């Protein structure tokens, strides 16, 4: 009995220790959150300091509390609508004399999102307020914004590294063959290359054709925008095409090469930049060189929160489309459809705008969201779709429910095709000496057989299911766009299109930003577009999730990412992480999917770590 009593005391002690540790962690997070919360009263006369140390996204991903407490880290994501609202409020606020655009650790955001931010920068300048940009090194995305600034500053040891869209994809067939895994693929669409990494060792001619056409169109649109925004940079295409010659002319001085090409206005370090800002908005602290009066972005956003009521509801479909529930940055079919239907019951809406930024995903989840939009239309609400950076495959499936579709020339859309993939491990089981056998009552008993490979009957059933989904897809498009099914089949085949071409093909109705889509929804609801108010429809966060968001809001990329060459060197690592996450999503999601592989990666992946005792405690807390 003494042994039992001792064991019981030990277990009670362990339990008490775990509870105590959990409480310490909870109150530690609470203290950190409260100490780092934005200060709505921190607005001061001077500059708005827009320090974009991370990436701009349509909808920030929710940080898993398990990941956070277990030691994972995430790169900060800025909501596009918040950044635009911050700039627009600055344009009309007399306390803001200028905007300091700090792009030192900016990681990008996609051409459509950047175009919307650039337009907001132009509105600040039009209001008579200078916008000054600074970075140690500019890449394509950061320079796209900087080109719209009144003055572009570059560190004397920095560079403007313009690479243009394009890059590598990873192909896994040889690796799968070596470990004995078979990717059983079912597809429709000549250009449906989302499964090629699992079936080939390189890009197919059809996929290469589609990808090359897409990146070429995006590149021309990028160049056109930069040249219009900054006439001094008219020779940027030559600078990008012959970087070695540009550097040779300045004996390898990259900053001087950028200055000579008209890409930047001033060379100086952060102190020099601060002194220039102080000339415009005043010195904050005489004892600190380069100090200037400024309001921080988080304080500015806290002082100008997004509206919580409005007649036009904006529903966001961002990230991979998955079955079931999904947090911010992931388009869970059940989550989004519930948000829409709840808004129909609880909010006094007159119209609905759907902002789509997704490469697609589960056809089942896409249909679930489309059905919710049809419910909104049945309730008498006009439904207008606004396409962001990407609205492809499953994203376009959802868009077929709209009364009108808006896109931008740089939007990637289309990719109308369907595929299925089922892994089987017959080669692996043979390698390790494992055999499988059994009995059947029907041809589909135990199918798909992942140990011996799917049977011919299972393969036929799965292929027919994919073909049926494709027919349904192109029929939805044909009915929505008032096109013959045969014509849709010609322009579908899984091929992605840039927004300009998509408009010519009849896949979108007009060019326009989210604001134009809102105005159209207002007109259809017989409201004044100039006076209409909007409200973003999001899932309500729990108290613990709000605590977590307060902590993660302070996270930023490593300081080494300031150098443009360092950021370029990080891309292979990002690609590998995206490939792992992509494979996990593809193999764990719906068997039949509509996704776009050619759609470019817009931001660095989030780091995560979800194991260990702390992860267990965080899971218990959440």
Q: Which residues are marked as active site?
A: 192, 393
Q: List Cβ neighbours of 95 (8 Å cut-off, separation of 6 or more).
A: 43, 44, 45, 46, 295
Which DSSP symbol is given to 597? S
Q: List Cβ neighbours of 618 (8 Å cut-off, separation of 6 or more).
A: 25, 65, 66, 68, 69, 70
Contacts of 94-97 spanning 24+ positions with Cβ under 8 A:
95/43, 95/44, 95/45, 95/46, 95/295, 96/46, 96/47, 96/48, 96/129, 96/295, 97/45, 97/46, 97/47, 97/129, 97/280, 97/281
CA distances for 604 relative to 8, 122, 218, 222, angstroms: 48, 27, 20, 20
Query: 411, 395 in Cβ contact below 8 A?
Result: no
Rounded-to-integer distance, Cα 315 and Cα 295, Å: 30
3 state SS of 421 = strand
Characterize the bridge pairing of strands 151-160 and 383-392.
Answer: unpaired
Structure token pair of residue 308 = 């919580």
Query: 412, 496 in Cβ contact below 8 A?
Result: yes
Query: 214, 359 in Cβ contact below 8 A?
Result: no
Query: 30, 510 in Cβ contact below 8 A?
Result: no
Query: 356, 388 in Cβ contact below 8 A?
Result: yes
Structure token pair of residue 601 = 């990666």
Question: How many C-beta atoms surround the C-beta of residue 378 within 10 A?
Answer: 9
Which DSSP symbol is given to 262? T
Of 66, 52, 13, 129, nearest to 545 by C-alpha is 66
What does the radius of gyration of the chain's CA atoms come to, in whole angstroms?
Answer: 26
Rounded to the nearest 10°, the torsion over CA 588, 592, 594, 597 is 50
Which DSSP symbol is given to 230? -
Rounded-to-integer distance, Cα 527 and Cα 582, Å: 42
Angle at 566 between CA 563 and CA 571, to 5 degrees: 130
The answer for 289, left when phi > 0, alpha when psi is -120 to 50, beta otherwise, is: beta
Which DSSP symbol is given to 108? B
Angle at 442 between CA 440 and CA 448, to 5 degrees: 75
Q: Which residue has the tokens 């390698």?
A: 431
Helix-strand-coil split of the chain, %, nearest 5: 50, 20, 35
Of 493, 494, 474, nearest to 485 by C-alpha is 474
Query: 357, 323 in Cβ contact below 8 A?
Result: no
């Amino acid at each position: 009995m003494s042994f039992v009593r001792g064991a019981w005391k030990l277990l009670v002690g362990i339990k008490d220790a775990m509870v105590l540790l959990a409480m310490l962690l909870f109150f530690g997070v609470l203290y950190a959150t409260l100490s780092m919360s934005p200060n709505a009263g921190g607005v001061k006369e001077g500059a708005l300091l827009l320090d974009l140390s991370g990436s701009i996204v349509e909808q920030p991903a929710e940080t898993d509390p398990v990941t956070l407490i277990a030691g994972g880290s995430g790169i900060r994501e800025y909501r596009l609508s918040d950044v635009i609202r911050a700039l627009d409020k600055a344009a009309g606020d007399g306390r803001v004399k200028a905007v300091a655009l700090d792009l030192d650790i900016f990681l990008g955001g996609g051409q459509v999102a950047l175009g919307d931010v650039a337009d907001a920068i132009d509105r600040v300048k039009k209001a008579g307020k200078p916008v000054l940009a600074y970075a140690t090194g500019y890449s394509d995305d950061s320079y796209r914004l900087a080109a719209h600034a009144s003055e572009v500053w570059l560190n004397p040891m920095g560079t403007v590294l313009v690479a243009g869209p394009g890059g590598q994809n990873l192909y896994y067939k040889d690796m799968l063959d070596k470990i004995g895994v078979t990717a059983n693929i079912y597809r429709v669409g000549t250009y449906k290359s989302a499964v090629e990494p699992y079936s080939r060792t390189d890009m197919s001619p059809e996929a290469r054709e589609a990808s090359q056409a897409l990146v070429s169109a995006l590149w021309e649109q990028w160049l056109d925008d930069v040249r219009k925004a900054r006439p001094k940079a008219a020779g940027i295409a030559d600078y990008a095409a012959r970087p070695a010659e540009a550097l040779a002319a300045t004996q390898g001085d990259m900053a001087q090469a950028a200055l000579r090409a008209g890409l930047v206005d001033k060379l100086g370090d952060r102190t020099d930049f601060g002194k220039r800002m102080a000339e415009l908005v005043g010195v904050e602290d005489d004892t600190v060189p380069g100090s200037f009066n400024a309001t921080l972005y988080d304080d500015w956003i806290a002082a100008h929160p997004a509206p919580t009521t409005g007649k036009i509801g904006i529903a966001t479909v961002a990230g991979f489309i998955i079955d079931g529930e999904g947090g911010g940055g992931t388009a869970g079919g059940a989550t989004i459809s519930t948000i829409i239907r709840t808004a129909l019951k609880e909010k006094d809406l007159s119209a609905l705008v759907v902002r789509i930024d997704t490469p697609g995903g589960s056809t089942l989840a896409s249909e679930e969201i489309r059905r919710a939009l049809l419910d909104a239309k049945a309730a008498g609400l006009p439904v207008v779709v606004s396409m962001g950076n990407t609205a492809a495959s499953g994203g376009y499936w959802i868009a077929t429910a709209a009364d009108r579709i808006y896109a931008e020339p740089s939007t990637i859309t289309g990719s109308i095709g369907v595929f299925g993939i089922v892994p089987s491990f017959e080669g692996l089981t043979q390698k390790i000496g494992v055999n499988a056998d059994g009995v059947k009552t029907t041809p589909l008993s135990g199918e798909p057989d992942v140990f011996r490979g799917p049977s011919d009957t299972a393969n036929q059933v799965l292929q027919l299911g994919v073909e049926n989904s494709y027919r349904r897809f192109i029929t939805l498009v044909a009915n929505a766009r008032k096109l013959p099914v045969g014509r849709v089949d010609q322009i579908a085949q899984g091929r992605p299109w840039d927004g300009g071409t998509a408009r010519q093909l009849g896949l979108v109705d007009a060019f326009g930003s989210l604001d134009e889509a809102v105005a159209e929804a207002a007109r259809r609801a017989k409201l004044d577009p100039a006076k209409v108010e909007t409200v973003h429809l999001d899932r309500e966060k729990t108290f613990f999730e709000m605590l977590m968001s307060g902590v993660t809001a302070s996270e930023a990329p490593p300081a080494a990412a300031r150098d443009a060459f360092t950021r370029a060197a990080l891309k292979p690592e990002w690609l590998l992480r995206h490939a792992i996450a992509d494979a996990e999503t593809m193999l764990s999601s719906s068997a039949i999917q509509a996704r776009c592989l050619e759609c470019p990666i817009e931001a660095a992946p989030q780091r995560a770590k979800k194991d260990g005792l702390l992860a267990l405690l965080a899971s218990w807390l959440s």
